[in-house]
Amino acid sequence: MNIIITGASKGIGFELAKLFAKNENNTIVAIARSENLLKELKNACIRQDLRNKLKTIPFDLEKTTEIKSVLIPEILKHIKTVDILVNNAGVLINKGFKQFDPSEIKQIFDINFFSQAILIKELMPHLKNGNPKHVINISSMGGFQGSAKFPGLSYYSASKAALANLTECLAEEFKESGIKFNCLALGSVNTEMLQKAFPAYKAPVNPLEMAEFICDFAVNGHRYFNGKIIPVSLTTP
């Protein structure tokens, strides 16, 4: 399978890329801002299997105007069809609502929402020829309606709620295309991002455990779900 993972340089995305890379029949395109951290991912995949087909693309998803002109051509150098797209990239700024600068709000929405939407749009012609044709948007329990909310995470939560809602809309609009769209609203996982939000809190789930769930869902979830926002949470936080 051909698999694209954003936010692949650390945490859940890092572990997810490694899991997919264990299968030599998979070609994984790992996208992240940091070239050095992507090199670490590449080395980790080589250590576990020399036959891995991991490809890395350093790209800052905040540069939404360059996704079509720069990122898409780089992706197509490695794969011509897309079987699975995991929109895992995200940014969190923990700050009171009234303290946010407009540039910080824009950054959160550019990375957590607009870049994901643009990437899906530009990849849809290639997803139509894939199998299982599955788009997984990684949201948060912070963006899940009716869940506990926390001070300082207003814009982060709102951006994740927007991504979840987009998932439902795309599943309906493109239900005849064969492409399946699902959203996983994650609860607490011991990542660097969680520590930014809750410095003193230790989650009961580690990145590898969550990556194992996402990996299986990405491969098999399209058989049972489309347009669903699924909470994956033991704790919030």
Q: Tell me the domains of the chain and their CATH numbers.
A: 7-232 (3.40.50.720)
* Phi and psi torsions of 6, nearest 5°: -95, 160
- The answer for residues whose C-beta is within 8 angstroms of residue 160's C-beta and 6 or more apart is 90, 112, 139, 140, 142, 143, 185
User: What is the chain's percent helix, strand, coil content, to nearest 5?
Assistant: 50, 15, 35
The structure's pTM equals 0.96
- Angle at which helices 154-173 and 115-127 cross, to 10°: 20
Query: Per-residue pLDDT for the chain (237 aa), expressed as one digit of tens each?
Result: 999 999 999 999 999 999 999 999 999 999 999 999 999 999 999 999 989 999 999 999 999 999 999 999 999 999 999 999 999 999 999 999 999 999 999 999 999 999 999 999 999 999 999 999 999 999 999 999 999 999 999 999 999 999 999 999 999 999 999 999 999 999 999 999 999 899 989 999 999 999 999 999 999 999 999 999 999 999 887
